[in-house]
């Protein structure tokens, strides 16, 4: 039997040779977010005339996404399980699709015989270690399951991809075609934290106790929460992803994972989106482990950590506490992602709390995000039965166990003052009294 190094050589090919193994009508699943295999996708689009009706499944797309454009509709059809600004127009058009799913259930869709099993997995991984194992690096999430169950695996091996640790390895023998290409990594720069985010961050921090385990999403609000935690002690992380914002807290000893019941001493995540600062930090770092999303986001597993606090954001909340976190009216804006996975995990966790943190308004203050009714066509991402804490720059509303009337009153009290009168009038029409 050949050793893996000899096998490696026989699998090496150019991007062009690699994509010629794809056939019209195939379903392709691509690596996620910052681990998108940029050179393979570029080559696929460059050679589009060779193909017809290829379905491309992706979650958060950070690359150029040329294949998703209308001019390429006879060659490719984009099927999004989460929408980013690169794919929003397509996912809401006649030439693209959106498939709703809890994030933790996506690996099941890609299993052998699963409804979305891939013909081809196009992925980007780290260079192999001495035993021939490549790390899934920045994206283990659904990518591992999609790759393990795909009929053909084509991997871009990039020496710049950090070697992350955990349950996130793929052996060279399980790759069919290897393209060596050391492209610069896709980065997500931290957003500017303004006064409003700072206020929201402080309210969220007031709900977090020493020893809690945290899940945080991406964006200015999670970053603001992190920057308000400098005085806390013994925090842990069990989160679908992390960004640069956690590094300062780890280095200051605030995040040490010492109180976690599960994976004590380790940060547990499923993908990473940040800058070189994060990528250098997590390279071969045993303090951080990546695991598949059906482990990290599985509510029953995540809930094994006591005092699990989830912090996510939302687009719109009605006065009953139904939160739409993924659409603007009928238009799909993002996706469910891991929001409900972690809200349920926090609810199952002993001492856990779930927080939805949002600006009180959007459109430069012209639209309230706390509304009497969700917009027509809006998705209910988090149900009124699941919701617990809601935080805006005007305070904290606790909704569990509250009547519909009490919920309306609490939510109006944290709405922007410019909208409280109108919300109160509508609530009074419904309830008679508040």
Q: Binding ligand COA by CB under 6 A: which of 314, 322, 332, 392?
A: 314
From start to end of 236-376, where are the E strands? 236-237, 241-242, 267-269, 271-272, 288-290, 308-312, 316-318, 323-324, 327-328, 331-332, 353-357, 361-362, 367-368, 370-371
Match 């899940």 to its residue by tokens. 215
CA dihedral 44, 45, 49, 51 (to 10 degrees): 50
Stretch that binds ligand COA, among 41-49, 261-269, 279-287, 325-333 (CB under 6 A): 325-333
Sign of the CA dihedral with 127 first, then 43, 57, and 10 last: negative
Query: Which residue of the set 36, 43, 240, 289 is catalytic?
Result: 240
Question: Of the two residues 44 and 356, which places its CB atom closer to ligand COA in the complex?
Answer: 356
Question: Of the two residues 155 and 247, which places its CB atom closer to ligand COA in the complex?
Answer: 247
Stretch that binds ligand COA, among 89-97, 114-122, 327-335, 420-428 (CB under 6 A): 327-335
Q: Binding ligand COA by CB under 6 A: which of 42, 197, 223, 326?
A: 326
State yes or no: is 180 an active-site residue: no
Count CA atoms within 13 Å of residue 323 on its CB side: 26
> Is 242 a binder of ligand COA (CB under 6 A)?
no
Question: How many chain residues touch ligand COA (CB under 6 A)?
Answer: 23
Closest approach of ligand COA to the CB of residue 298, in Å = 14
Stretch that binds ligand COA, among 3-11, 180-188, 314-322, 346-354 (CB under 6 A): 314-322
Which residues touch 428 (CB under 8 Å, ≥6 apart)?
A: 434
User: What are the phi and psi torsion angles at 51 (to 5°)?
Assistant: -125, 160
> Is 299 a binder of ligand COA (CB under 6 A)?
no
Q: Binding ligand COA by CB under 6 A: which of 92, 325, 379, 392?
A: 325
Closest approach of ligand COA to the CB of residue 349, in Å = 16
Which residues touch 246 (CB under 8 Å, ≥6 apart)?
A: 226, 237, 255, 267
Distance between CA atoms of 302 and 305, rounded to whole angstroms? 6
End-to-end Cα separation, the chain, in angstroms: 77
Closest approach of ligand COA to the CB of residue 93, in Å = 19
Please list every residue from 367 through 386 that binds ligand COA, using CB under 6 A.
Answer: 367, 369
> Is 328 a binder of ligand COA (CB under 6 A)?
yes
> Is 345 a binder of ligand COA (CB under 6 A)?
no
Helix (H) or strand (E) holding 340: helix 339-348
Query: Mind telling me the catalytic residues?
Result: 240
> Which residues sit at the interface with ligand COA, rule CB under 6 A?
217-219, 221, 240-241, 312-316, 325-326, 328, 333-334, 337-339, 362-363, 367, 369
């Amino acid at each position: 039997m050949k050793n893996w190094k000899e096998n490696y050589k026989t699998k090496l090919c150019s991007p062009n040779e690699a994509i010629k193994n794809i056939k019209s009508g195939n379903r392709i699943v691509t690596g996620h977010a910052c681990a998108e295999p940029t050179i393979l996708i570029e080559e696929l689009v460059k050679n589009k005339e060779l193909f017809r009706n290829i379905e491309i499944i992706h979650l958060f797309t950070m690359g150029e996404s040329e294949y998703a454009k209308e001019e390429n509709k006879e060659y490719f059809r984009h099927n999004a399980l989460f929408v980013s600004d690169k794919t929003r127009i397509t996912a809401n058009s006649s030439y693209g699709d959106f498939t709703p799913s809890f994030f933790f259930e996506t690996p099941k869709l890609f299993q052998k015989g699963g409804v979305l099993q891939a013909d081809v997995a196009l992925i980007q991984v780290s260079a192999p270690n001495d035993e021939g194992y490549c790390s899934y690096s920045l994206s283990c999430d659904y990518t591992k399951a999609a790759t393990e169950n795909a009929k053909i695996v084509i991997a871009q091996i990039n020496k710049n991809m950090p070697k992350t640790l955990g349950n996130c390895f793929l052996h060279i023998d399980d790759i069919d075609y290897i393209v060596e290409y050391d492209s610069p990594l896709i980065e997500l720069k931290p957003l500017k934290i303004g006064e409003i985010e700072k206020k929201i961050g402080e309210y969220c921090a007031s709900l977090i106790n020493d020893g809690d385990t945290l899940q945080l999403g991406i964006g200015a609000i999670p970053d603001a929460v992190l920057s308000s935690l400098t005085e806390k002690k013994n925090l842990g992380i069990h989160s679908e992803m992390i960004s640069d914002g956690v590094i300062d807290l780890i280095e200051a000893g605030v995040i040490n994972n010492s109180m976690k019941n599960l994976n004590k001493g380790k940060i547990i995540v499923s993908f990473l989106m940040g800058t070189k600062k994060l990528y250098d930090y997590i390279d071969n770092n045993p303090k951080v482990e990546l695991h598949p999303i059906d482990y990290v986001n599985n509510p029953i597993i995540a809930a094994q950590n006591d005092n699990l606090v989830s912090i996510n954001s939302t687009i719109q909340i009605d006065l009953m506490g139904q939160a739409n976190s993924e659409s603007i009216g009928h238009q799909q804006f993002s996706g469910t992602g891991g929001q409900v996975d972690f809200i349920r995990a926090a609810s199952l966790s002993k001492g856990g709390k779930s927080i939805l943190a949002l600006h009180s308004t959007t459109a430069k203050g012209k639209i309230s995000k706390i509304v009497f009714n969700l917009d027509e066509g809006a998705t209910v991402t988090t149900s009124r039965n699941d919701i617990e804490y809601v935080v805006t720059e005007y305070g904290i509303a606790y909704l569990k166990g509250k009547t519909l009337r009490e919920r309306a009153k609490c939510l109006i009290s944290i709405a922007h003052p410019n909208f409280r009168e109108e919300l109160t009038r509508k609530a009074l029409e419904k309830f008679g009294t508040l």
